[in-house]
Chains A and B, each alone.
Chain A
Amino acid sequence: MADIRNNFVGIKSPNPFWLASAPPTDKAYNVIRAFKAGWGGVVWKTLGEEGPPVVNVNGPRYGAIWGTDRRLLGLNNIELITDRDLQTNLREMKQVKMDWPDRALIASIMVPCEEASWKAILPLVEETGADGIELNFGCPHGMSERGMGAAVGQVPEYIEMVVRWCKQYTRMPVITKLTPNITDIRKPARAAHAGGTDAVSLINTINSITGVDLDSFAPMPTIDGKGSHGGYCGPAVKPIAMNMVAEIARDPETRGLPISGIGGITTWRDAAEFLALGAGNVQVCTAAMTYGFKIVQEMIAGLENWMDEKGHRTLDDVIGRATPNVTDWQYLNLNYVAKAHIDQDACIKCGRCHIACEDTSHQAITNMVNGVRHFEVIEAECVGCNLCVNVCPVDNCITMEPLAAGAMDERTGKPVSPVYANWTTHPNNPMAKVAAE
């Protein structure tokens, strides 16, 4: 039986599934329900400094986009950090940690970018017995207008400075949460690393407008006729998040820096993918907000089953296994040739592969053969682009089949070369390196 116990920068939890700092972790009531459901840990909703708490809007806080059957694909929010009194949160955290010692409890913190503010709050948090802290440098709305959240996360120098303060004033492990609203995610990660962070977590939410009310002409969610960009999350952001995790995992400057992966994780498979790309554990929010806490049971069982099936005994057997396979485009093997193949028994003849290829790609799929609707790849035209696979509604009906070395590529009229060759040495590349002489 696979062992999915997690040790993330010394913080232990029975599984790698944490709830991210967000509405589901706003108070003891929710967190206890989450622990009862089986979540391995929580990052408590972000604490602000002592004093009058922040206020939230009193209208819609969330916007969304949906897929077929109104499945929620992306969620955005304009909610701020906790709007509850600091002392109440600290008291509840302490009690919960005492009652659930085997679960991870992390405090997310966001205070003004001043040393005194951080110095003041850290001992208070430490006193709760929390396992670690997460620095919220990601929140893209509201707080960023006040110089906090993403406003810090977008300036690597600030990140490094605040991380240094935290490492100086607390013995708790420090996880730095990064904003994706930046051009190159490696820069803030490097800064956090330079400041001495124990780990980074990413991604926080993405600046977004989910819709426009076409009657009032206001962005959604709409507050009294106006809207503001919110933070986007959910399944739709997963590919963006995974790329950013991989970028940090394979960056020579940050290689080995523990990463807590966040962004659209909904199933065990999503989690496994994040782990494979280098995340040491994962944080979940939108999936819980969509379906409730019970989903963690599917995640736990699914991850265990997959690991058992593949013979992975611990999470360490999985973490980072895909990282070495993430490379730059210039190193991809240009002599690799694949062709689409349509399984005629599985094909339901919707014709979407044909029209996608015909209208928008390479005219490489038939629609009529001898007067009968029939969808078949024309190998002499197929460039192996995979679009047909992606638009086909039937799983595994269209597959990409690699041509063996030596086999004839009917498109080029040349046999497939057995030799790995990439753009750096390609004759069409004016910058090509001359092959070793």
Chain B
Amino acid sequence: MPEGQFKEGIVGGRLAADQYADNFSDLHPPLDHHEALVESDRCYFCYDAPCMNACPTSIDIPLFIRQISTGNPIGSAKTIFDQNILGGMCARVCPTETLCEEVCVREVAEGKPVQIGRLQRYATDVAMADNKQFYPRAAPTGKTVAVVGAGPAGLAAAHRLARHGHDVTILEARPKAGGLNEYGIAAYKSVDNFAQAEVDYVTAIGGIDIQNGKALGRDYQLSDLMRNYDAVFLGMGLGGVNALRADGEDAEGVTNAVEFIAELRQASDLSGLPVGRRVVVIGGGMTAIDAAVQSKLLGAEEVTICYRRGQEHMNASEFEQDLAAANGVTIRHWLQPKRVIAEGGKVSAIELEYTALNGDKLAGTGETLTLTADQVFKAIGQSFVPAALNGSGASIELDAGRIKVDGEGRTSLAKVWAGGDCIFGGDDLTVSAVAQGRDAAESIHRSLTQG
């Protein structure tokens, strides 16, 4: 029996040493050659295909699947990368069940969509294993562009700008590039250090200089970038985590889920990673699911997600909810945190209040429930921290706390574009960030070459 299995509190080593690798292996193992051929044969090559329209990056899905079926996975990968240079990661992390696969005509007809995500992974894996680079750079334009943040939006923008012959400098606050792909994705969705391999693949085009440890507002100001570069693309993530607004949330053992997820992804030895015996996760999105499932996989005995609304309101897809349930996570609805109960400064339980909809308004019913917990994860959303933007010079216009952009990704400041989680109106998906970065890059290119 592993030593830590029944230990109270937040400890590591709850599982046998060999269990960790099993638990954190690939969620969707890659299709082998035969499986890919069988699956690709299922595609009907629809006209004006619903899958393609559902893809935020508008990948020509029927075409790339047909290319797999005809024995041309390299051509297939190019079809994918033409629209989405991070097609490899999107194949792994896209909630396909609410995007392309949800509208696949075979989902409509049989309840069994073509496994578009796994086919996309097959094709992109083949091309990346071969380090097949499809895009030569255009002749140098002499123009320079600064990209803030090496996440999906920034990388997509940088690649497209580099293709057009511009020189790109990416300024990244964290020690590694990749953004949420590196720090924010559950470990079993991106194994074998794929995020870094993808960064290498994307930057292999040349003309992209990534500088790590450079935080906006701390190490440089937006006005510096506007002065020193021909254009700026802002692709920052969400720096703030929403508070529980419950008494006692400062107790030891109350943790931001995003930090836990990041720590887990960066851990070289999972057995050393501490987790509570009884874990409560507050929230209803992907982050809540990722934190809950991974807690369970690290050996937590009881993991409960508490969400303040009903199942139908959860941001986590049905697939993600099922994944949690299959891993032994309990999901409870209509419960909001009221008070964190601590003993000796450490969390020991959480008191929750039942909720109900009163018309459109959610309100506590007064009835409460107390769950024993030695660890509480906050996963009730993140917020954009705009302070870093406005260190000097003109301030950028915001909308509902995020950067306001037009249809091409232009901000209120000339020469400054933005995309990804930091802009208003997005859906916080990796694939949407890629589309925004790509499209902003095209807009920047037009602006730089017309001027």
Contact = CB atoms under 8 A, between A and B. Distances in A.
A349 B108 contact: yes
A211 to B, nearest CB: 13
B109 interface: yes
Given A348-B108, A350-B47, A354-B47, 13 more contacts: A70-B37, A70-B41, A348-B105, A348-B109, A350-B44, A351-B46, A351-B47, A352-B44, A352-B45, A352-B46, A355-B47, A367-B48, A373-B50
B187 to A, nearest CB: 35
A350 B106 CA distance: 9
Nearest to A346: B109
A373 B108 contact: no
Nearest to A393: B44
A394 interface: yes
A68 interface: yes
Contacts of A349: 46, 50, 105, 108
7 contacts: A69-B41, A348-B105, A348-B106, A348-B108, A352-B47, A354-B48, A367-B48
A68 B38 CA distance: 8
Contacts of B37: 70
B49 interface: yes
Interface string A334-363: 000000000000001111101100000000
Given A69-B38, A69-B41, A394 B48 contact: no
Contacts of A69: 38, 41
A85 B49 CA distance: 60
Contacts of B41: 68-70
Nearest to A359: B47
B63 to A, nearest CB: 13
A368 B50 CA distance: 13
Interface in B389-412: none
Interface in B181-198: none
A351 B48 contact: yes
Contacts of A348: 105-106, 108-109
**Max count, chain B CB within 10 A of own CB: residue among A349, A373, A393, A394:** A349
Contacts of A352: 44-47
Contacts of A70: 37, 41
Contacts of A350: 44, 46-47, 105
A394 B109 contact: yes
A112 B49 CA distance: 60
Given A68-B41, A70-B37, A367 B109 contact: no
A102 to B, nearest CB: 43
Interface string B26-61: 000000000001100100111111100000000000
A70 B47 CA distance: 24
Contacts of B38: 69
A352 B44 CA distance: 8
A349 B44 CA distance: 11
Nearest to B107: A348
> Which 3 A-B pairs give the minimum distances between C-beta atoms?
A351-B47, A355-B47, A348-B109
Contacts of A373: 48, 50
A367 B47 contact: yes
Interface string B225-237: 0000000000000
Interface in A86-137: none
A394 B106 CA distance: 11
